[in-house]
Amino acid sequence: MSALITYQNYVHGKYISNGSGETFEVINPATGDVSYLVEVATETVQQAAIASAKAGFAIWSAMTPIERSRILLKAVALLREQNDELAAGEVLDTGKPWQEASVVDVVTGADSIEFFAGLAPSIEGNQQPVGADFYYTRREPLGICAGIGAWNYPLQIACWKAAPALACGNVMIFKPSEETPRGAMRLAEIFTQAGVPDGVFNVVQGDGKVGAWLTSNEDIAKVSFTGEVGTGKKVMAAAAGTLKDVTMELGGKSPLIIFNDADVENAVSAAMLANFYTQGEVCTNGTRVFVQQDIYPQFIQRLKERTEQNIVCGDPMDPNTNFGALISRDHQQKVLDYIEIGKQEGATLLTGGSALKPDNAPNGFFVAPTIFTDCTDEMTLSKEEVFGPVMSVLTFTDEDEVVKRANSTHLGLAAGVFTQDITRAHRVIHQIQAGICWINAYGASPAEMPVGGYKMSGIGRENGSETLKAYTQIKAVYVGM
Ligand code: NAD
């Protein structure tokens, strides 16, 4: 048996030792085997990361926006050149299919950096006369920002957080999820290769304890967090101690509303995409599928047929696989427990409902694509985020009713509406309390489009030009003449 590689923390343009040798294991979800070890960011690393970030900020913030933009665009080119190797790393860490990672994860990460690199030179203040005097404003960077990521899109999340922060002249200390530490390290290496100065993007590794250090550190000006609602509350509470700005990208329980006049095949495609893409581990998933009564029988018949015929579960690196493994054994069990609750509470199991052992990956953490029908709003599955391949189908009769039911959740991340009546589509979407909405589509998220949640699904936005404001602060300067 070959010895496992141990990765260190990436600080000031290189990997540094944590001094103690304390490590944690990273598991390949498709095999259950340990892939590699990672050193925990001890106090030695934490102090080095802060000192490095301060030095990096002095250099990076003094560059012109065009200079920063040029360097970031080099990183974009490197990301795209190394797409396949980076995507393979994402597959090994997350268990998601190569079919997805090779065309989405790195591409959308690079897109976001390209988008913000392009905007960097257009960040501007204004000026206003006040009698004979005048004032002007400058948009200045915040300083050291912390990024804390979830495990479902490790590299993409790191890119989406770094892109606006760095474009505005900030530096970032990023902590990926302890389940998927690889993507952020690779991004840090690429930034260095592209010419991003040392200290501008440091990566610290570890679990919530390292995250908690970031959120309470007084040298850090802002935290951008992606994860569960419960963790988000802890992050905000900790950030309050030093009055840090926060961006929160949290969980969802999003409605997908399908009216009688919808194109049924398109709506079925959307429901499958919104529940089984990345084996259901997507924050915007439309897990409450509301179907208007007349098309319900036809809809669930086609949904069952197409789910059973078209989903290929197996080794995620196999190019034929379109449905991979869940992130961990614990998460697999959590999802199976939710399925049991669904059965006990009286939902009808249309398909799936158990763990899977594909021939080419018998030890992976797989759960079958699962659909429950006859669901009601009161059931646990209609209320709680499962973060796995479990769809709840509910019926409705009229528009007002479905809007009210769709909104009856403390979450408000995303929503989708399928109908041929375009007036109704907009009318309904405008009443839905959610930050990311689709009409006759689901899941597309180009870098130009802001993403983020209403209610307890989040605070602030990622992507889209609005995000620049969240990574700059305004200095107003009054000039007496
Ligand atoms: P999680 O909340 O368990 O962990 C997220 C990150 O927070 C990890 O890096 C973890 O180490 C860190 N962390 C844990 N405790 C912390 C603490 N006390 N202080 C600071 N950091 C701490 O979430 P997860 O299981 O990794 O991810 C799944 C969740 O993420 C789901 O709820 C999903 O909806 C959400 N998510 C949201 C979006 C979005 O854009 N809205 C995107 C992806 C995932």
The answer, yes or no, to whether residue 126 has pLDDT greater than 80, is: yes
pLDDT of residue 3: 87
Cβ 207 under 6 angstroms from ligand 1: yes
Quick one: pLDDT at residue 194?
98
pLDDT tens figures, 210-224: 999 999 999 999 999
Q: What is the ipTM of this complex?
A: 0.97
Verify whether ligand 1 is closer than 6 Å to residue 151 (CB atom).
Answer: yes
Q: Is the pLDDT of residue 2 over 90?
A: no
Mean pLDDT, the chain, whole residue set: 98
Q: Residues of the chain with pLDDT > 70: what percent?
A: 100
Model pLDDT for residues 162-187, shown as the tens digit of each residue: 999 999 999 999 999 999 999 999 99
pTM of the entire predicted model: 0.98
Query: What average pLDDT does this structure show over 132-137?
Result: 98
Active site residues: 249
**φ and ψ of 317, to 5 deg:** -80, -15
pLDDT at 45 over 80: yes
The mean pLDDT value for 303-325 works out to 98
Percent of the chain scoring above 90 in pLDDT: 99
Query: Atom 1 in ligand 1: which residue has the minimum CA distance?
Result: 227
Q: Which amino acid is at 129?
A: P
What whole-number distance in Å separates Cα of residue 164 and Cα of residue 167?
A: 5
Q: Which of 226, 234, 242, 409 best tests ligand 1's pocket when mutated (most atoms within 8 Å of CB)?
A: 226
Distance CA 456, CA 450 (A): 17
Q: For 262, phi and psi rounded to 5 degrees? A: -70, 155
218 pocket-lining for ligand 1 (C-beta < 6 Å): no
CB 295 within 8 A of CB 262: yes
410 CA distance to ligand 1 middle (Å): 18
User: Tens digit of pLDDT for each residue in 421-446?
Assistant: 999 999 999 999 999 999 999 999 99
User: Quick one: pLDDT at residue 259?
Assistant: 98
- Would you say 417 and 441 are in contact if contact means Cβ atoms under 8 Å apart? no
Q: Mutate which of 94, 105, 148, 287 to test ligand 1's pocket (most atoms within 8 Å of Cβ)? A: 148
- CB-based contacts of 103, cutoff 8 Å, min separation 6: none
Closest ligand 1 atom to Cα of 248: 41
Q: Is residue 1's pLDDT more than 80? A: no
pLDDT tens-digit series, residues 316-372? 999 999 999 999 999 999 999 999 999 999 999 999 999 999 999 999 999 999 999
pLDDT tens by residue, 373-423: 999 999 999 999 999 999 999 999 999 999 999 999 999 999 999 999 999
CB-ligand 1 contact for 215 (6 Å cutoff)? yes
